[in-house]
Amino acid sequence: MNTADITALLDRLRAEPRESEWLEFKANCYEPQVIGEYLSALANSACLLGKPRGYLVFGIQDGTHAVVGTRFDPQAEIGQGNQLLPLWLSLGLKPKLGFEIHTCQYQGQRVVVFEVHPAFDRPVEFYGKALVRNGSSKTALTGYPDKERAIWTRRVDWSAQVCEQATLADLDPLAIAEARRQFAEKNKTKPDRLAELADWDDATFLNKAKLAVRGSVTNAALLLLGREESASLLAPAVARMSWILKNERNEELDYEHFGPPMLLNVNKVLARIRNLTVRELPDGTLFPVELTQYDPWVIREALHNCIAHQDYGLRGRIR
Q: Which pLDDT score, from 0 to 100, does residue 191 have?
A: 85
Q: Which pLDDT score, from 0 to 100, does residue 285 have?
A: 81
Q: Which pLDDT score, from 0 to 100, does residue 158 have?
A: 78
Q: Which pLDDT score, from 0 to 100, does residue 238 have?
A: 86
Q: Over the stretch 259-271, which tens digit does the pLDDT of each residue have?
A: 999 999 999 999 9
Contacts 24+ apart (CB under 8 A), 196-203: 202/168, 202/171, 202/176, 203/168
Domain ranges of the chain: 3-156, 168-234, 241-314
294 Cβ partners below 8 Å, 6+ apart? 275
Q: Which pLDDT score, from 0 to 100, does residue 198 have?
A: 86
Q: Which pLDDT score, from 0 to 100, does residue 288 have?
A: 86
d(Cα 197, Cα 244) in Å, to the nearest integer?
39
Contacts 24+ apart (CB under 8 A), 233-236: 233/163, 233/165, 233/166, 233/170, 234/163, 234/312, 235/98, 236/96, 236/97, 236/98, 236/117, 236/315
Low-confidence ranges of the chain (pLDDT < 70): 155-156, 313-315
Q: Which pLDDT score, from 0 to 100, does residue 46 have?
A: 92
Nearest one of 103, 95, 119 to 47, comparing CA atoms: 119
Yes or no: say if 141 and 131 are a contact pair by the CB < 8 Å rule.
yes
Q: Which pLDDT score, from 0 to 100, does residue 314 have?
A: 66
Query: What residue type is 217 in one-letter code?
Result: V
Q: Which pLDDT score, from 0 to 100, does residue 37 have?
A: 96
Q: Which pLDDT score, from 0 to 100, does residue 315 have?
A: 67
Four-way CATH pick for 3-156: 2.40.300, 1.10.287, 3.40.50, 3.30.950:
3.30.950
Threshold 0.85, pTM exceeds: no
Yes or no: say if 47 and 88 are a contact pair by the CB < 8 Å rule.
no
Q: Which pLDDT score, from 0 to 100, does residue 176 have?
A: 96
